[in-house]
Amino acid sequence: MTTLVIKNLAVSVGGTQILNDVSLTINSGEVHAVMGPNGAGKSTLSAALMGKPGYTVTSGSVTLDGVDVLALPTWQRATAGLHLIMQYPTEIPGVMLQEAMSAALDARNQDSRQLKQLIETEAKRIGFDPELVTRSVNVDFSGGEKKRSETLQLSVLQPKIAILDELDSGLDIDALRDCAQRVEDATREINLGVLVITHYSRLFEQLKPDFVHILTNGRIVKSAGPELADELEVTGYAAYTNV
Ligand code: ADP
Ligand code: MG
């Protein structure tokens, strides 16, 4: 059982305060959706959690099973069990996808001898062409291939908590279904805890949220059960943007 506790988190970017007083607790196996309009601060939250340069935590804390995440460099946050699927996955010319996963397993002191077999099995589950693992990470991948590649990395590395920043942006319906279903499966197979960031509820058809939080203007203004996502489908964010 793992718990990620985000307490009263405030984050500034380039001297501008973007997030204020954000608190969330995510346990193993739970799916928390953070929904909000463009510019609300959703990607800022994911960047701050992973330690992206330029994102300054001005107050608050983030702990993973009591360990101060904010004191760790990004790679140690990853080996501690945090995993981010980025809204716009980074292309890394010259770094082969398979080698990147092998190095990531080594950094976790996990056996990488079965990696080829694991990649074949996992690639098949999400409809990813396993040949692509011999190419540079995300370079010249289509939008769907990029998100499938990111989902493949998640399923191979088996993190404790995954942050999905708009998994649904830039990919077609089939790829979204495959990726969202794979993450939903992981909540049961490896008890993965999930923070899923989106502004559409379409991906909830596969990945079922237990909690839905509305983030607007850098604050969480409402938290409720999955019914809140259904309400948002009808009303939009208008009722919450001036809270
Ligand atoms: P969302 O993901 O919810 O659409 P973001 O977290 O990307 O929102 O952005 C929140 C706000 O922070 C926006 O007003 C955006 O312009 C600003 N912002 C994000 N990143 C930067 C940055 N690197 N420099 C300056 N402003 C930024
Ligand atoms: Mg964003």
Does 243 score more than 80 pLDDT? no
Nearest residue by C-alpha to atom 6 in ligand 1: 41
Q: Ligand 2 centre and the CA of 165: distance in Å?
A: 7
Confidence of residue 157 (pLDDT cuts 50, 70, 90): very high
Distance from C-alpha of 41 to C-alpha of 217, rounded to nearest angstrom: 7
Q: Ligand 2 centre and the CA of 43: distance in Å?
A: 4
Could you tell me which of 192, 172, 171, 173 has the C-alpha nearest to residue 182?
192
In ligand 1, the atom with minimum distance to the C-alpha of 165 is 2
- CATH number of the domain residue 126 falls in: 3.40.50.300
The residue type at 55: Y
Q: Ligand 2 centre and the CA of 224: distance in Å?
A: 22
Query: Is-contact 27 194, C-beta < 8 A?
Result: no
pLDDT at 112: 85
- pTM attached to this predicted model: 0.95
Query: For 118-140, how does the pLDDT look when each residue is reduced to its tens digit (9 = 90+)?
Result: 999 999 999 999 999 999 999 99
Residues forming beta bridges with residue 219, ordered by sequence position: 216
Average pLDDT of the residues in 137-156: 94
Both tokens of 194, joined, read 């999930």
Does 92 score more than 90 pLDDT? yes
pLDDT at 169: 86
pLDDT at 200: 84
The count of domains in the chain is 1
Both tokens of 125, joined, read 């589950």
Residue 189 C-alpha from the chain's centroid: 17
Task: State the residue range of the domain holding 179.
Answer: 3-240
